[in-house]
Chains A and B, each alone.
Chain A
Amino acid sequence: MIKNYFKIAWRNLLKQKGLSFINVFGLSIGLACFSLFLLYAVNEFSFDRFHQNRNNVFRVVRWNKAIGNRPEGGDSYMPIPLGPAMKNDLPGVVNFVRLREGWGESFVKVNNSTIPLDVMFVDPQFFDVFSFKILMGDKHTALKDLRSIVITEDIAKKLFGETNVVGRVVEIKGDKTFEPFTITAVAENPPANSTISFKILANWAFMESNTETGKRNSTRWTASGYQTYVQLQAGSGLPNDAATLAAFRKKYYPNEAEELKKRAMWSGSESPISYRLQSISDMHTNRTIEGGLMPPISPKNIWILLAIAAGVLIIACINFTTLAIGRSASRAKEIGIRKVIGSDKRQLVAQFLIEALVLSGISAVIGFILAQLLLPYFNTLSGRELVFSYQQYPEMAWMMAGLVVLVGLLAGTYPALILSNFKPLEVLKSKVRVAGANLFTKSLVTVQFILSIGLIISTVVILQQIHFMQNQNPGFNKENIVMVNAESIDAKRIFPLFKQQMLAQPSVKAVAGTDIGLGAGSGWSVMDFEYEGKSKSVYEYSIDADYIPLMSMEMKAGRNFDAKIASDTITSVIVNEALVKDFGWTIENAVGRALKGYDEKFSPIVIGVVKDFNFRPLRESLKPQLFHQFPGSAPFKYFVKIEAGNPSATLAAMQKTWTSLEPNLPFQYDFLDESLNQFYKAESRLGNIIGWAGSISIFLACLGLFGLAALSTVNRTKEIGIRKVLGASASHITTLLSKDFLKLVLIAIAIASPIAWWLMHKWLQDFAFRISVEWWVFVFVGFIALLIALFTVSFQAIKSALANPVKSLRME
């Protein structure tokens, strides 16, 4: 019997080629879309679960209760001695690994070419605690020697063109000079679902004994900046034993509570700062803890993306349902006969469900191929390096199989129930016409358009917000500024030489030095201090006198730094309007004020107020900020203002100058405007994804509408014929046939608009600087949707309006 069902399903598929194509094509796209998002979601939720010791390995985090104006939260920046101390003091801790990650790129030299690459220092037991795989070499001896390193296969290929490189030597720049390291192992690339990611691993001991910061910090409990992981005995209760962890903290920070009290930041008797052990499977989805290179994600966002993908899939399923009901007239006879010759309802339901399943199975195969082809684009869109790997995501197999069945059932159930309910006599005798669109199919079509129109409205709003953020005047002129990265060189010594040579170029207008760049990935520096009994957080930048004019920033009061005034490099600061407000001053009386409490030894004096400018992404409100020229900071970023126009000649000159001053290290730079736009990468990504989903869904909805319109015209052939014989014009017929469908689109616009408005309104609340949602967006998107729908429907309507009526009447 089953075999028979399959046979019928297949023949029906071939018989109705057009409709089958619409169904299969639509479902394939829906399934391709959904499987990509599913892969993404599975990847996100499987983060760090591949470690065999995942139940016993924890990341040490420092948890702060709300202190001063800082909210409650945690971070994973730990001091160097913490790991060994934990192993020593706490029962249950059997091993620890410390990582120094995200300290910026080091220069790696192979065969006289120098490449900037991330080098991560880790304890040699790294491979015992974590389950990263080794391709070449021995994981037990890798990293044992002071100057041993492990590289990934990608890096091996990049540096040497092959992976069989154990024993080879590369040079890595330490504090001052290049030093040789021996490759002791080649590791598999860390999987896409790993929070810990690396390219080159070097021995922790080298960092502690051979670098300045390592030597200085190796016994200090006050210098944090290193990740620490501990491996516990199976079943250890330590993660929940707050008392033991508090006692441990107290041992190394005995007077913490008192000191915070003295600074008026805390009033309790116990310290507000404690250690916690965070399960490694929690790292990727817990946004309350800062630290680590891979920022944690909010599970909510993943569910939103999955919901969008499910929406697209549902639109495809709805196509199947509406089309199946739409063409039920042509199958009515078959159903009647089957019932008369002895089929019962259950068997017919089974038959139609199997047809739906066959269809969804075929669509799944095509969809999966499609998904494979689209994966590279999806990876750029999602910012992940995903692969369809059964090994990595075994759960994908049953999820996909389940999805195919679910889609088949979702799409097939309603038609199956409707069709199997036909009364055989009516069907065989009185030629019932099940119209192309009943109320149910009409509602479904409306739902499709609600989803698509909602998505497209959201896309437009998101793109508008991104456009706004990228083009909003940030309070300085971001155009034509090159930021040269001088972090790895003797920045202070080289800066004046570089500046002098560059200013000799006619295309260079100005050169300034600052310690931190602007834009995504530049980092920031925040100074916390107590001012008149209140704790303050101030963003600070070390600049020179050329910086403010170069950036075309506006002074609201006072003056810029002056190279001729000696005190400017010792006590003078320039503050922004937000700081003036935060400190309770006014623009008029701010100049000459002292920032008491900033430093034990001196109080900086305000010499000027600069107009607020957006040094942070526009989703954040403006924060208090100051510029200084204090000694001890170095110009790690050279800002070069160049002529508008093609920058390549100027860049070439800059590169030449760089090479003449620093022949060993490559010239690295960014354009300021591009770097600022990077702030909005997440938003751009979201906009892209929703935009794609919106386009696909409106396409699918139109595909369904097209099929439905075709069926509706077929079902009304006789009516159209009679109307034409009676003298109706082609345009009259077209209107007649299109009207019904366009009404649905109008209803969809009316329903989608308020929902989309509300969702976008909520989304925009995350931005301190935001657009308001304009009414014309709804009109515009609604108009476009109507136009597309009209085009789709009228195609069919015109075709039948132009047909010869005699032919259609004779057929009846």
Chain B
Amino acid sequence: MVIEDALPRFEGDLRRGAIVLAAMSQLATAQYGYSLRQRLAEHGMEVEEGTLYPLLRRLENQGLLSSEWRIEDGPPRRYYRMSDEGRRLYPQLVTSWRNLSAVMENLFKEGHPYDL
């Protein structure tokens, strides 16, 4: 079925932007990749490791995160946290997300002729 094939693709498109915000929401304190993924999963946000780990580096390159290597229990791990730039941008992104979410809710209420 075309719809069955399309669902994961469209869902992926919808989640792509949300993952950035979801990751930033948990990086007020330093986290390494695996622990961040666990925290997101605990909140119901399952993210594939192959997507999340490269994303963290991209966000660091864009200046939203900073990172450092630490040796605690286990092998050396790279810990990420929001940079000053990220901390400035994060509340604005959250506001944008809430506005967008409210707009979408209104659209769903008014626009769809079928029961959801």
The answer on A and B forming one complex is no
